[in-house]
Amino acid sequence: MSNKKILVVGELNIDLILNNIQGFPEVGAEKVAENMDFTLGSSSAILASNIAALGISTSFSGLLGKDNFGEFILKELKTKNVDTRFVQFSEQYKTGITVVMNYDQDRANVTYCGAMDVFNIEQVPWEHINEFDHLHFSNYFLQAGMKPTIVELFKRAKEAGLSTSLDLQVDPKDEWDFDYKNCLPFVDVFLPNKNEILKLSGENTLKKAIEEISKYSNILALKLGDKGGRVLTETEDISIAPYLNKAYKDAIGAGDSFNAGFLKKFLEGASLRDCLDYANLTGSLSTTAAGGTGAFSHTEEIEIKIQQIRNTKL
């Protein structure tokens, strides 16, 4: 078992999730949703909560507004045993929120960025960086304050002796202005999904996209949804089928939960095959409850659920 410590750097916001919506939103019209959940949101926070629940010592660095949403998020992180010493509060900006409208296995999101928009590299606890073994960053395109210094963030972490990981996420502007050629050499584990790697590379096939990004990445851990996952390095190319389950609720946070499983095993020194297999399991587990963290309670209970999912695979 690893005693490794991870510092998650990134955005914090609320998810307001609407399910069973009677039609698509229209200007000038009102639609009814039959179910609603109010949960901890944001890629970074879901990853932090879930990897902490999986037994990895986890700290968070981010920015909240001084409001009820901010207090809710702080309480949720603490409940999940995430160290919140490095979470700061803004007097000027409100806590971010995402309204999630679920339609079957797809969704439409509307996000107010708030405080996460101004969080920047100087607010990362560099004076404490030697306490950690790994730095993870999520959701680059929604963090305007971090974008100009993303290469420096990873470079400084590597110079401090940490391993690193990145989940880029979607670009709402569809510009994909991420300097992957200079940044990815400082990222040990890059965790895109299929759509993200296609958009980032500018290629129209997954094969070409992988060829382009692999020139600069170290470990490329690719999320392929209902096709499972794939991990590539200079010497390995491993694909593993997904663990599909019948208890599907929603896919919110499934990618972040995949990340949590992969990084847990990575920090414990497991093989890349074991990292990917466990990532598929935790991604599948995530879809059995509403929101990104609902399926991740106590470590022992999680392992029982994961074993059940593993046993049902044909």
- E strand or H helix at 165: strand 163-167
**What is the structure's pLDDT at 1?**
47
CA distances from 1 to 7, 267, 274 (A): 18, 9, 14
Alpha helices in the chain (DSSP H): 43-53, 68-79, 150-159, 180-183, 194-201, 206-214, 254-267, 272-286, 299-312
Residue 14 CB-half CA count within 13 A: 22
d(CA 4, CA 58): 9
Chain segment 71-118, per-residue pLDDT in tens = 999 999 999 999 999 999 999 999 999 998 988 767 788 989 999 999
Chain segment 1-32, per-residue pLDDT in tens = 468 999 999 999 998 989 889 888 889 999 99
Residue 114 near residue 143 (C-beta atoms within 8 A): no
d(CA 51, CA 275): 13
Sort strands 5-9 and 134-138 into parallel, antiparallel or unpaired: parallel
Residue 98 near residue 110 (C-beta atoms within 8 A): yes
Q: Which residues does 88 contact at the CB level (< 8 Å), separation at least 6?
A: 62, 63, 64, 123
Q: What is the DSSP letter of 186?
A: G
Residue 139 near residue 43 (C-beta atoms within 8 A): yes
Chain segment 37-79, per-residue pLDDT in tens = 888 989 999 999 999 999 999 999 999 999 999 999 999 999 9
| Phi, psi for residue 101 in degrees, rounded to 5 | -110, 110
Residue 223 near residue 193 (C-beta atoms within 8 A): yes
Class level of CATH domain 5-11+43-94+115-312? alpha beta
Residue 219 near residue 188 (C-beta atoms within 8 A): yes
Q: Kindly report the length of the chain.
A: 314
Q: What is the pTM of this model?
A: 0.92
d(CA 148, CA 219): 24
Q: Which residues does 140 contact at the CB level (< 8 Å), separation at least 6?
A: 146, 147, 150, 166, 168, 169, 178
Alpha helices in 14-67 (DSSP H): 43-53
Chain segment 258-302, per-residue pLDDT in tens = 999 999 999 999 999 999 999 999 999 888 887 778 878 878 888
Domain ranges of the chain: 5-11+43-94+115-312
Q: What percent of the chain has pLDDT over 90?
A: 75
CB burial class (10 A; 0-12, 13-18, 19+) of residue 255? buried
**What is the structure's pLDDT at 313?**
67
Sort strands 163-167 and 189-190 into parallel, antiparallel or unpaired: parallel
